[in-house]
């Protein structure tokens, strides 16, 4: 997977990885696009959002945090072995 320009990212609510550079540091977030929908949210709510602490808290990525690149999320790891296989 290669980083792609943010302009090509899906804007359908799909979770993706986004990246921006801040003071020579590559900052990467799991993010998704929220579009403005009349009656459902405010125009200023449209943009790239990322989770804060958990899936119930989120923050709008703006200003210096505005993503410039994106890539799809990798596949999650396979299901971990059950605790029955755990040896001490």
pLDDT tens figures, 33-76:
999 887 777 878 899 999 877 667 889 899 989 999 999 999 88
Tally the domains of the chain.
1
pLDDT score for 37: 80
> Chain-centre distance of CA 28, in angstroms?
8
Which residue would you say has higher pLDDT here, 19 or 43? Answer: 19
SS3 26: strand
Average pLDDT over residues 28-32: 93
SS3 32: strand
- Domain assignment present for residue 15? The answer is yes
- Domain assignment present for residue 37? The answer is yes
Q: pLDDT above 90 covers what percent of the chain?
A: 53
The structure's pTM equals: 0.76
- Domain assignment present for residue 79? The answer is no
Range of the domain at 10: 4-73
Would you give the end-to-end CA distance of the chain in angstroms? 38
- Domain assignment present for residue 80? The answer is no
- Domain assignment present for residue 22? The answer is yes
- Domain assignment present for residue 69? The answer is yes
- Domain assignment present for residue 61? The answer is yes
SS3 49: strand
């Amino acid at each position: 997977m290669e980083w792609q320009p943010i302009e090509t990212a899906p804007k359908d609510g799909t979770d993706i990885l986004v990246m921006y550079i801040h003071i020579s540091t590559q900052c990467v977030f799991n993010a998704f696009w929220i579009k403005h929908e009349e009656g459902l949210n405010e125009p200023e709510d449209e943009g790239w959002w990322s989770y804060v602490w958990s899936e119930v808290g989120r923050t709008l990525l703006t200003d210096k945090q505005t993503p410039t690149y994106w890539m799809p999320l990798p596949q999650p790891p396979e299901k971990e072995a059950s605790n029955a296989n755990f040896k001490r």
